[in-house]
Amino acid sequence: MATVAPGREAPPVSPLAPTAPVDLAPLAGVRLASIAAGLKKKQGVLDLMLMEFAPGTTVAGVLTTSKCPSAPVDWCKNNLGKGKARAFVVNAGNANAFTGKAGDRTVEHTVDAVAKALGAKAPEIFVASTGVIGQPVPQDWIAKHVPDLIKKLTRDGWHAASEAIRTTDTFAKRATRTTRIGFETVTIHGIAKGSGMIAPDMATMLAFVATDAKLPAEVLRALLKSGADKSFNCITVDSDTSTSDTLLLAATGQATHAKIATATDANLKQFRIALDELLLDLALQVVRDGEGAQKLIRIDVTGATSPKSAKVIAMSIANSPLVKTAIAGEDANWGRVVMAVGKAGEPADRDKLSIAFGGTQITKNGQIVETYDEKPVAEHIKGQEIHIEVDLGLGKGAATVWTCDLTHGYIDINGSYRS
Amino acid sequence: MATVAPGREAPPVSPLAPTAPVDLAPLAGVRLASIAAGLKKKQGVLDLMLMEFAPGTTVAGVLTTSKCPSAPVDWCKNNLGKGKARAFVVNAGNANAFTGKAGDRTVEHTVDAVAKALGAKAPEIFVASTGVIGQPVPQDWIAKHVPDLIKKLTRDGWHAASEAIRTTDTFAKRATRTTRIGFETVTIHGIAKGSGMIAPDMATMLAFVATDAKLPAEVLRALLKSGADKSFNCITVDSDTSTSDTLLLAATGQATHAKIATATDANLKQFRIALDELLLDLALQVVRDGEGAQKLIRIDVTGATSPKSAKVIAMSIANSPLVKTAIAGEDANWGRVVMAVGKAGEPADRDKLSIAFGGTQITKNGQIVETYDEKPVAEHIKGQEIHIEVDLGLGKGAATVWTCDLTHGYIDINGSYRS
């Protein structure tokens, strides 16, 4: 259940939500507990989650690049380098962001309480918070619930955990992959939340992934960075970056498989593919829950002078309000794509630019294709999944990003009065 | 009259439109003609304008930084360096952008026709076009109207000219300043168009300014660049940059005043102030006509490590859909301002950040002010002009930018089906 302002209806489930729900079976080395701790405005709904890991679990993370990060993000940044995790503690309702030094004290209280209860060290406890910004929270607001959480720990808690971290998400986000390392089967589970930055309670993108594989922290780091660059770092709902974005990956080491020492080990090939897929699955679920989203948009840029240049141009298209409103209006307005390429500031040549919508070439070498037939494009743009391809004709740089359209729903959700 | 899709009502005048209309008297050395040439979809409305200048007129310009500029922008870029102007030719209805080499030919035909009719050289004729992108235009589509334009040239044509360059602008934009150079009176007139990038016809920001002062082109260039940096380069409606943005300044030299050789001449002090004011006046009229705009937002950033850093942060706030929808909803959601500061990528320290709305301090040194009273802020945010101040507490860098809120009107205007 998402938190919504009193008097407002909970939003209906996004039309882009996956139709088949994903169930996550117990994963060796992971126990979970979720409770209704009264942190969300709406009482009686799950809002606090503890994910406990077996001793020896390694961890890696990717955090927001915001220069004004939340206190929990600062804590994670300072402790991920040690590479060990015994728990993730996650709450919804208050982001503990822009709460000054007091916010840091609250995080310390939380991790101390959890560490003590689990017989772990404080730097092995990671925290993430989502909700209102700038509202100071009492030091013990999570700490006091730790005994209750510990009591409720269960191997079957994945579903409840995915619910507890929701804010205005219209659906809970879960994904799983079964793969192998060498010849042995391993599993990866993930949960996520996020649907833009959400009003009236500020929100964020959070994702927590766990595997029973046994992998050194530096290997996890390399795998996660590479996977995030192709998934969570390639999505955008509204170009806004939260103060709290957090992606954590834990490996409990309970599976038995060939020892892995480096991220380039050939035995990791399948695992890497599966992790990349799972991360993209979760990331696209976030876009599918973009505030007001009616359409999922995939943008492929090729022919750029470098992959980085391609990404900048793809993001310029994906973040353009004019492109996004055109798609919302089912208008294949490719002129706005030209505009967005032009404003990106990256190398581009008007007379080499080619654009296709839904596989139909519209322009080639800077001019509209003479035989261009608008019919298949008009048909394509009425669908739920829109595909835009831009070939700059300059080099070999390529990038793919995903976004959603910009609709009245976004204004409704984000322009409402705070209660 | 703005062009709108058939079946749609012309939009009502923006609630932020200036209430007192500005009339522009004849200016020495300038004649104008405007006709209905059938270039806009809606027939019978003015859509083509010629602004003729006396021999000896100097010129400077600021053009879009888009890497995919229109053919007219390319022409202006190539010829502004010569510093002389005999005419501006401006049409609405088709932007002649993304029209390949054929678009360049069309521009050449236009300037040749005008140059011949005026006994001028082609590089003294400047062109600007606004409207649909990617629709090829016949080579003579403007050229054939030149005889009619020449016949209609009049010193009283300012009002009609400001009408002819409109697309979906809800009001025509004019400004004037009377000032002096040394002891002699000089006048500056300006007209502009723009209200975001406009659907269904792509649009742009165009502004044409003329003065009877006698100033070398290099002086004009310095004055215009400095003025644009504090006005047109400090406004944003939706973060999208057109392929056609054009600001031109002509000086007819008909006034008699002390000779000016450099932009730093003490005799230019009043003129510089007046020009800066006029440019800001026109730029704010564009923001006041922002698509769907209900509120004008001024953002002052101080305490940044440099002016450039301050500008990047101010623009990050001004372009944040979350900040803009919050203002539309009359919600003083300062947490989103923190978010926008954080995502700008510029130096910022969470614990030194101070934010004020409408002069009321909300946060200081990274925390909410203990005595913070929401009442005056709630009152301020209900007004039409919103003032946000952010002090980073790091250095002396400062910047001011203007934007408007993001409303359902923007989605209506930009998400409509193309006809």
With 60 as the cut, is the pLDDT of residue B196 above it? no
Distance separating alpha carbons of residues B135 and B367, to the nearest angstrom: 53
Predicted pLDDT of residue A272: 97
Give every strand in the sheet of B206-211, ordered side by side.
Answer: B58-63, B246-251, B206-211, B184-193, B173-181
Share of chain B above pLDDT 90, in %: 65
Contact between B15 and B285 under an 8 Å Cβ cutoff? The reply is no
What 3-state DSSP class applies to A180?
A: strand
Distance separating alpha carbons of residues A139 and A121, to the nearest angstrom: 19
Copy the structure tokens of residue B3: 């062009």
Hey, of B240, B336, B364, which one would you mutate to test binding to chain A, going by the most A CBs within 10 A of its CB? B240
* A408–B407 CB contact, under 8 Å: no
Distance separating alpha carbons of residues A78 and B74, to the nearest angstrom: 51
- What class is the B30-288 domain? alpha beta
> Of the candidates A242, A292, A319, A287, which has an alpha carbon nearest to the alpha carbon of residue A411?
A292
H/E stretch holding A363 = strand A360-364
Predicted pLDDT of residue B291: 77
With 70 as the cut, is the pLDDT of residue A1 above it? no
Copy the structure tokens of residue A164: 């507890």
Label the pairing between strands B206-211 and B246-251: parallel
Distance separating alpha carbons of residues A317 and A326, to the nearest angstrom: 12
Q: Which of B57, B64, B130, B204 is catalytic?
A: B204
Q: Residue B411 to residues A54, A102, A287, A406, B2: CA-CA distances in angstroms?
A: 50, 41, 19, 8, 18
Length of chain B: 419
Tens-digit pLDDT profile for residues B235-261: 877 666 778 889 999 999 999 999 999
What 3-state DSSP class applies to A25?
A: coil
Share of chain A above pLDDT 90, in %: 65
What residue of B is the nearest CA neighbor of A313?
A: B67
The 10 Å Cβ neighbour count of residue A234 is 23
Length of chain A: 419
Residues in a beta bridge with A210: A189, A250
Contact between B202 and B231 under an 8 Å Cβ cutoff? The reply is no
What 3-state DSSP class applies to A389?
A: strand
What 3-state DSSP class applies to A185?
A: strand
Distance separating alpha carbons of residues B124 and B407, to the nearest angstrom: 42
Composition of chain A by helix, strand, coil, percent to 5? 35, 25, 45
- Which residue is listed with tokens 């990671």? A126
Categorize the per-residue pLDDT at A335 as very low, low, confident or very high, splitting at 50, 70 and 90.
confident
Axis-axis angle for helices A307-318, A334-343 (nearest 10): 130
* A238–B321 CB contact, under 8 Å: yes
* B336–A200 CB contact, under 8 Å: no
> Of the candidates A88, A84, A92, which has an alpha carbon nearest to the alpha carbon of residue A52?
A88
Residues in a beta bridge with B402: B235, B298
What residue of B is the nearest CA neighbor of A363?
A: B134
With 70 as the cut, is the pLDDT of residue A41 above it? yes
Higher-confidence residue of A417 and B404: namely: B404
Distance separating alpha carbons of residues A87 and A66, to the nearest angstrom: 24
Predicted pLDDT of residue A239: 63
Q: Name which of B98, B329, B417 is nearest A338 (Cβ-Cβ).
A: B98
What residue of B is the nearest CA neighbor of A197?
A: B322
Higher-confidence residue of B8 and A394: namely: A394
Please give the model's pTM, rounded to 2 decimal places.
0.81
Predicted pLDDT of residue B202: 41
Q: Report the first-to-last Cα separation within chain A, whole angstroms.
A: 18
| B chain contacts of residue A242, beta-carbon cutoff 8 Å | 339
Q: How far is A82 from chain B (nearest CA, A)?
A: 25
| Backbone phi, psi, residue B307, to 5° | -60, -40
Copy the structure tokens of residue A336: 């706005």
Hey, of A8, A66, A98, which one would you mutate to test binding to chain B, going by the most B CBs within 10 A of its CB? A98
Predicted pLDDT of residue B2: 33
Q: Name which of B243, B341, B416 is nearest A68 (Cβ-Cβ).
A: B341
* B67–A202 CB contact, under 8 Å: no
Tens-digit pLDDT profile for residues A344-372: 889 999 889 999 999 999 999 888 898 88
Distance separating alpha carbons of residues B212 and B87, to the nearest angstrom: 15
Query: Where are the domain boundaries for CATH 3.10.20.340 in chain B?
Result: 296-414
With 60 as the cut, is the pLDDT of residue B180 above it? yes
- The CB-side HSE value for A150 (13 A sphere, CA atoms) comes to 14
Q: Name which of B68, B238, B347 is nearest A321 (Cβ-Cβ).
A: B238
Categorize the per-residue pLDDT at A293 as very low, low, confident or very high, splitting at 50, 70 and 90.
confident
What 3-state DSSP class applies to A394?
A: coil
- Which residue is listed with tokens 């946000």? B388
Categorize the per-residue pLDDT at A202 as very low, low, confident or very high, splitting at 50, 70 and 90.
very low
Preceding amide of B200 cis, omega within 30: yes
| A chain contacts of residue B196, beta-carbon cutoff 8 Å | 322
Q: How far is A25 from chain B (nearest CA, A)?
A: 37
Chain A and chain B share a number of CB contacts under 8 A equal to 240
Q: How far is A388 from chain B (nearest CA, A)?
A: 17
Distance separating alpha carbons of residues B404 and B15, to the nearest angstrom: 12
Hey, of B74, B77, B98, which one would you mutate to test binding to chain A, going by the most A CBs within 10 A of its CB? B98
Q: Which of A309-313, A412-416, B331-335, B367-371 has the highest mean pLDDT?
A: A309-313
Distance separating alpha carbons of residues A47 and A1, to the nearest angstrom: 10
Categorize the per-residue pLDDT at B200 as very low, low, confident or very high, splitting at 50, 70 and 90.
very low
Predicted pLDDT of residue A418: 42
> Of the candidates A310, A308, A320, which has an alpha carbon nearest to the alpha carbon of residue A394?
A310
> Of the candidates B131, B126, B129, which has an alpha carbon nearest to the alpha carbon of residue B76?
B126
Copy the structure tokens of residue A419: 């209660």
* B342–A202 CB contact, under 8 Å: no
3-state secondary structure chain B: CCCCCCCCCCCCCCCCCCCCCCCCCCCCCEEEEEECCCCCCCCCCCCEEEEEECCCCEEEEEECCCCCCCHHHHHHHHHHHHCECCEEEEEEEECCCCCHHHHHHHHHHHHHHHHHHHCCCHHHEEEEEEEECCCCCCCCCCHHHHHHHHHHCECCCHHHHHHHCCCCCCCCEEEEEEEEECCEEEEEEEEEECCCCCCCCCCCCEEEEEECCCCCHHHHHHHHHHHHHCCHHHEECCCCCCCCCEEEEEECCCCCCCCCCCCCCHHHHHHHHHHHHHHHHHHHHHHHCCCCCCCEEEEEEEEECCHHHHHHHHHHHHCCHHHHHHHHCCCCCHHHHHHHHHHCCCCCCHHHCEEEECCEEEEECCEECCCCCHHHHHHHCCCCEEEEEEECCCCCEEEEEEEECCCHHHHHHHCCCCC
With 80 as the cut, is the pLDDT of residue A4 above it? no
Predicted pLDDT of residue B25: 96
User: What are the DSSP calls for A208-268, one per residue?
Assistant: EEEES----HHHHHHHHHHHHHTTGGGB-SSS---S--EEEEEE---S------STT-GGG
Q: ipTM score of the complex?
A: 0.74
Q: Residue B125 to residues B166, B218, B367: CA-CA distances in angstroms?
A: 21, 18, 57
Q: How far is A120 from chain B (nearest CA, A)?
A: 30
Average of per-residue pLDDT values in chain A: 90
- The CB-side HSE value for B104 (13 A sphere, CA atoms) comes to 11
Tens-digit pLDDT profile for residues B296-321: 999 999 999 999 999 999 999 998 88
Contact between A165 and A380 under an 8 Å Cβ cutoff? The reply is no
What residue type is assigned to position A84 of the chain? K
**Which has the minimum average pLDDT: A145-149, A274-278, B135-139?**
B135-139
Mean pLDDT, residues A218-228 taken together: 96
> Of the candidates A363, A230, A362, which has an alpha carbon nearest to the alpha carbon of residue A307?
A230
Higher-confidence residue of B205 and B255: namely: B255
* A241–B342 CB contact, under 8 Å: yes
Distance separating alpha carbons of residues B213 and B188, to the nearest angstrom: 8
Q: Please, which residues have CB within 8 angstroms of residue B17's CB and are 6 or more apart in sequence?
A: B170, B171, B288, B289
Hey, of A73, A233, A240, which one would you mutate to test binding to chain B, going by the most B CBs within 10 A of its CB? A240
| B chain contacts of residue A64, beta-carbon cutoff 8 Å | 342
- Which residue is listed with tokens 């991220």? A263
> Of the candidates A391, A170, A363, which has an alpha carbon nearest to the alpha carbon of residue A285?
A170
What 3-state DSSP class applies to A17?
A: coil
| B chain contacts of residue A345, beta-carbon cutoff 8 Å | 65, 67
Q: How far is B407 from chain A (nearest CA, A)?
A: 6
**Which has the minimum average pLDDT: A233-237, B27-31, B52-56?**
A233-237
Contact between B103 and B70 under an 8 Å Cβ cutoff? The reply is yes
The 10 Å Cβ neighbour count of residue A186 is 25
Q: Does domain B296-414 have CATH number 3.10.20.340?
A: yes
Query: Where are the domain boundaries for CATH 3.60.70.12 in chain A?
Result: 30-288
| B chain contacts of residue A348, beta-carbon cutoff 8 Å | 67-68
Q: Give the CA-trace dihedral at B123, B129, B135, B141, to 10 degrees.
A: -60
Residues in a beta bridge with B206: B193, B246
* A338–B417 CB contact, under 8 Å: no
Mean pLDDT, residues B389-407 taken together: 94
Predicted pLDDT of residue A396: 97
Tens-digit pLDDT profile for residues B38-76: 988 788 899 999 999 999 999 999 998 888 888 999 999
Predicted pLDDT of residue A416: 59
Q: Could you give the residue numbers annotated as active site of A?
A: 204
With 60 as the cut, is the pLDDT of residue B93 above it? yes
What residue of A is the nearest CA neighbor of B101?
A: A351
Q: Name which of B101, B367, B408 is nearest A408 (Cβ-Cβ).
A: B408
